[in-house]
Structure 1
Amino acid sequence: MRVLVTGGAGFIGSHLCERLIARGDQVVCVDDLSSGRHDNIADLLGSDRFEFLHQDITERLDVEGSVDAVMHLASPASPPDYLRRPLETLAVGSRGTENALRLAHRHGARFVLASTSEVYGDPAIHPQCEDYWGNVNPVGPRSVYDEAKRYAEAVTFAYRRALGVDTGIVRIFNTYGPRMRADDGRVVSSFLVQALSGEPLTIYGDGSQTRSFCYVDDLVTALLAMMESGEAGPINCGNPQERTVAELATLVGEIAGCPVVTEHHDLPQDDPTRRRPDIALARTRLGWSPQIEIEDGLRRTAAWFASRPEEVAAAAADLRGGQLGAPHDAQPGGHDQHAALLAG
C-alpha cells in the first residue's frame, strides 16, 4: 500500500510511519513541523519507500501518485500546544481535515481520522463508550481542541454519507511513549521530567482524577487494524486500566528510583475528572486490546527521556519557571494556560 500520514513527524505519527515502512508499505509523511520534529523521522529518510513533504495541510495537500490510505493525525494534541495556537488547532481540525478527505475522495482511498477522547469532555458516563455524546464546554479554553475534533468527526461522516468515502474514526485515549516532547505538558512527560531532574511532581487538585494510559506501540497496532478494516467507527482505542494521577506519580517515582515529593495546585478549568475507555468495540470489531503493561511502558519512556538530558533539563526549567503547569485562571490564548498539563 501507499499510505499518506498527516502529522507523520509527530509523536504518534512517526511511530505509525515506522511501522508501515517495516511491514513493506510506501509512506508519504506530511507535516509542517509546528509540533512534530524532523528528528522523529530522521532514520526513515534513507528509505526509498519513505517520502517527506513539508506542507501545511490547512493551506494545501498536494501529493503526486496514487494513494491507498490516508491516516489523518495532524493536529496539536498537548494542552500547551493547542492553548498556545488556538486558531491553528481549529484550522487543522476543519480545513485540514477537509483537505485530507478531498484527497482520499479523489484517490478512492481509505480515510482514518485520529480523533480523541476529548470529544467526551468531562464525562458524565463512566467508562466512556462510543454512543455517549459527551459533556463538552464549547466556549471554554479547551474547546479549540475538543470542538475541532468533534467537527472533524462530523465532516468525516458527511463525506462518508454524501460522497461514499471509505472512512473510519478512532478515538484515541491518553497515549505515551518514546518521542514525546519533554516540554509537551502532558502528565507522563512532565512527571518523568520532574522525577529525572529531582524536582517535586506537580499535581493539580488532590490527584484523585483518573486517566487511562496506552503505550504508543499498542496504539499504532490499533490504527493499523482500523486502516485495514471496513469499520466506520467511531471506535475507542486506549487502555481500560484506570489510574489516579496520584498513583501515576508514585509509579513514576519508583521507576525513576527517587522518593516522590509532590506539589499541589488548583485544577485547571474543564479538566476531566475521569477518563477510561470502554474498548468492547475495539475488541470485537478490530480484534485489538493493549498488551504492554504501564510499568514496562514507563520504563521504556523514562529511558528515552534519560538519553536526552539537555531536553529534559530545559523542560524542567520551564516547569520550575511556570512556563508549563502554572495554575490555570487565564483566558483562552494566554501562555498561562499551559496549566492544563494533566488533561493531556
Structure 2
Amino acid sequence: IYPKVSPQKEDYWGNVNPVGPRGVYDESKRFAEALTIAYHHYHKMDNKIARIFNTYGPRMRADDGRAIPTFVNQALNNKEITVFGKGLQTRSFCFISDLVSGIYKLMLSSLNEPVNLGNPEELTVLDLARTIIRITRSKSPIIFKPLPEDDPKVRCPDISKANKDLSWQPKVGLEEGLKKAVEWFKNSPQSTVHSPSWKRLLG
C-alpha cells in the first residue's frame, strides 16, 4: 500500500499505478488484504493483516536487490554504491527482531484490521548509503543512476495503532541494527568479502 503521504496510517488506501512496471507487485498487496478481510467478514476467520515496512537484519540474501544488503556488500568490497535518483526518497528500516515481536503480539491480539509494523525513524536513501559507508569504513564512492518508474518517494509508518493496541514499538535503532547486519554479511559465505584485511578493519 504505497503512499504519497508520510508517515502513513492504516486508513490510507494507497497510491498505485496499476499498469506501471510495479503494478502487479503493488496491487497484489491490496488484493491480499481484500481477500483476507473478506474471509474474516464472511467466514468469521480470525485473520490478521500486518503491514510490514522495510525490514533488515542478519541472514538477508546479499543479492535480493534491497537497499541495505546491496549497499553493505558494495561497501565491504569498496565498490561503487548505487543510489537511484538524487537519493532523496525516504525509507524507514525495522530490525528483524522488532518485527518478529510485533507479529507475535498481533497474532495474540483480537485485531483483524490492518496494523502497521515498522520503524518510524525516516531517512533518505542517500543518508542510508553514507551511514553504511561510515560503519564499514569503506572507500566506496556513491554514484547516481536514473530513478525507476513509480519508485515510492516516501515510505514511513505511523505506528500509533500498534503502540496503543499492542503495546509495541521498535527497540533496535538503525545504527545498532546496521552494525549487526554488517557483521553478519562480513562473515557470510554468500558475501564476496573474505579478505583478512576486512576483519582487521572492522574488528
TM-score, structure 1 normalization? 0.55
Partner of 1:230: 110
CA–CA distance in structure 2, aligned partners of residues 273 and 124 of structure 1: 7
State the one-letter code of the partner of 1:240. P
CA–CA distance in structure 1, aligned partners of residues 4 and 129 of structure 2: 25
- 8 Å contact from structure 2 (residues 93, 119) kept in 1: yes
Cα shift at 1:260 = 4.4
Among 120, 124, 127, the alignment partner of 2:4 is: 124
Partner of 2:199: none
Among 65, 68, 79, the alignment partner of 1:185 is: 65
Partner of 1:49: none
Deviations 1:48-98 (A, max 9, x none): xxxxxxxxxxxxxxxxxxxxxxxxxxxxxxxxxxxxxxxxxxxxxxxxxxx
Deviations 1:238-259 (A, max 9, x none): 0001000111011101110123
CA–CA distance in structure 1, aligned partners of residues 191 and 20 of structure 2: 31
1:203 aligns with 2:83: yes
Aligned length: 193
Among 291, 298, 311, the alignment partner of 2:190 is: 311
Partner of 1:151: 31
1:140 aligns with 2:36: no
Cα shift at 1:233 = 2.2
Partner of 1:175: 55
4+ aligned runs moved over 6 Å, structure 1: none
SS where residue 167 of structure 1 aligns? coil
1:165 aligns with 2:42: no
CA–CA distance in structure 2, aligned partners of residues 162 and 140 of structure 1: 32
Cα shift at 1:139 = 1.6
Among 87, 90, 93, the alignment partner of 1:213 is: 93
State the one-letter code of the partner of 2:60. M
State the one-letter code of the partner of 2:86. D
1:276 aligns with 2:156: yes
Cα shift at 1:312 = 2.1
Deviations 1:295-330 (A, max 9, x none): 11001101111112x52229xxxxxxxxxxxxxxxx
- 8 Å contact from structure 1 (residues 168, 234) kept in 2: yes
> What is the root-mean-square deviation in Å for CA atoms of aligned residues?
1.2
State the one-letter code of the partner of 1:148. S
- 8 Å contact from structure 2 (residues 22, 150) kept in 1: yes
- 8 Å contact from structure 1 (residues 225, 286) kept in 2: yes
Q: How does 1:1-344 map to 2 (within 5 A)?
A: 119-120=1-2, 123-308=3-188, 310-313=189-192
CA–CA distance in structure 1, aligned partners of residues 133 and 140 of structure 2: 5
CA–CA distance in structure 2, aligned partners of residues 217 and 277 of structure 1: 17
State the one-letter code of the partner of 2:14. G
SS where residue 82 of structure 2 aligns? strand
CA–CA distance in structure 1, aligned partners of residues 131 and 150 of structure 2: 26
- 8 Å contact from structure 1 (residues 197, 312) kept in 2: no
- 8 Å contact from structure 1 (residues 174, 212) kept in 2: yes
Percent of residue pairs bearing the same amino acid type = 49
Cα shift at 1:127 = 1.1
Deviations 1:191-232 (A, max 9, x none): 001000110110000111100010000000000001110101
CA–CA distance in structure 2, aligned partners of residues 164 and 258 of structure 1: 54
CA–CA distance in structure 2, aligned partners of residues 234 and 129 of structure 1: 10
